[in-house]
Amino acid sequence: MQHNSLTRRLSLRALQLSPLRRRFLLIAADVLLIPLALWLSFWLRLADSWSPQLQDSLWMLPLAWLIALPLYGFTGQYKGLTRYAGSTALYRLAWRNGLLVLLLAMAGVMLQLPLPPRSSWLLLWLLLTGLTGTVRFALRDALLKLQDGIGQRRVRVAIYGAGAAGAQLAASLRLAGGHSITAFLDDAPQLWRRSINGIAIHPPSLLKQVRSDVDQVLLAIPSLSRRRRREIVAELQTLDIPVLQVPSVEEITSGMARIDALRPIAIEELLGRDSVPPDPQLLGPGIEGAVVCVTGAGGSIGSELCRQIMLLGPQLLILLEQSEPSLYAIEQELRAAAPASTSFCVVLGNAADKNLLEQLFSAWGVQVVFHAAAYKHVPLVELNPLAGQG
């Protein structure tokens, strides 16, 4: 317990270091790595740990410090957040170190100083980039590990889908620190026994063997068809594991949701078939310029029908709804977005009232009716059979 408490305190101190102190640590690391890279470039080239050519080229060390530190500082090497360092940071290190080596060589030529073998310059560039990059990525991983160590118990998850969405989700969860990814699952046999950032990809059947090590399954295939999603969920339900999914491709590309905005799978997404989009050529000619009535206009289905019908340009849209708050809400929404050519008639009433419907249809000359008024919460209606008969 004392060891855990000490580790926790040290982790907190490391994470709470001020940005200025962290920059000083990175500067100190670079100051030490530059002479190490210089020495290694001569040793690897000449197979001598202290060759005469190295002794003649010691002028490179102070000059390298004099050029490197201002160059690194002015080009933003110490402004980046180490915790989020990625491949772009390595590329930037490479061009900075390439510029450093070029300036160092130019200074040696102009000052007529003893120069090392030509291949040593290439080795120096590679070593500088490799060493400085290794230190930064090691610090990044250490910070993430410290962050995980002081947090609460992480949720153990398996990501179903080893494609681009799965890899992005894993990266987001790793930075967030609240989840521990135990495995990737995928249906593609060519991906089995491979890995993503050290996490192995397995066939879905493996989940039965590691059930006790998984708290959730995250479905990371945004383009998955409803039919296949239904099959996967049915398989996972037999293991009694909660299933969450990433947003759809449309939600991600439009910016409405992030890849790590996980949500439960809605029941309507488990239909045994894919949804059929409306055919504008079929609906448009019958609605454009017509008098259209939507019953149950304030409900979830009726309100969406009203939004789509309004886009097709009816002459008059009649909203029939028995719930006053729902009718008011859809009326305000449609009026705010409707074109000037579309008029509205708002009727508070019951679609089961025959007299009301006859009067309404006769008075306005209704040409098209969309009947969306219905009780949809089956258990509730079963408890109230008389209301359901109405």
Query: Which of the four pLDDT bands, split at 50, 70 and 90, describes residue 255?
Result: low
The 10s digit of each residue's pLDDT in 190-204 is 988 888 877 888 888
End-to-end CA, the chain: 67
pLDDT-based confidence at residue 49 (cuts at 50, 70, 90): confident
CA 209/CA 200 separation, integer angstroms: 15
The candidate with the shortest Cα–Cα distance to 23, out of 89, 66, 82, is 82
b/e per residue, 229-253, with b = 16+ CB within 10 A? bbebbeebeeeeeebebbbeeeebe
Enter the pTM of the model: 0.47
Split at pLDDT 50, 70, 90, the class of 51 is confident
Q: Per-residue pLDDT for 279 more than 90? A: no
Q: Is the pLDDT of residue 252 over 50?
A: yes
Task: Report pLDDT digits (tens) over 8-38.
Answer: 454 456 555 666 777 888 888 889 999 999 9
| Segment among 5-14, 39-48, 321-330 with least mean pLDDT | 5-14
| Among the listed residues 329, 333, 374, the one whose alpha carbon sits nearest the alpha carbon of residue 350 | 374
User: Predicted confidence band at 361 (pLDDT cuts at 50, 70, 90)?
Assistant: very high
Cβ atoms of 29 and 88 closer than 8 Å:
no
pLDDT at residue 339 is higher than 80:
yes
pLDDT at residue 319 in the model: 95
Q: What is the pLDDT of residue 11?
A: 47
What per-residue confidence (pLDDT) applies to 211?
78
Tell me: the pLDDT tens digits for 224-241?
A: 777 777 788 778 777 778
What is the arithmetic mean of pLDDT over 274-295? 75
Q: Per-residue pLDDT for 99 more than 90?
A: yes
- The reported pLDDT for the residue numbered 356 is 93
Per DSSP, the three-state class of 157 is: strand
Q: What percentage of the chain exceeds 70 in pLDDT?
A: 77
> Using 50, 70 and 90 to split pLDDT, how confident is the model at 253?
low
- The whole-number pLDDT of residue 254 equals 55
> Could you give the CA distance from residue 318 to residue 343 in angstroms, rounded to a whole number?
9
What does the pLDDT read at residue 296? 93
Q: Which two tokens stand for residue 64?
A: 């390298």
pLDDT of residue 149: 52
* Nearest one of 265, 371, 277 to 318, comparing CA atoms: 371
**How large is the angle between the packed helices 60-74 and 87-110, nearest 10 degrees?**
140
CA-CA distance, 317 to 320, in Å (whole number)? 10
Q: Do the Cβ atoms of 157 and 181 come closer than 8 Å?
A: yes
pLDDT at 147: 60
Residue 104 pLDDT level (bands cut at 50, 70, 90): very high
Q: What is the pLDDT of residue 10?
A: 47
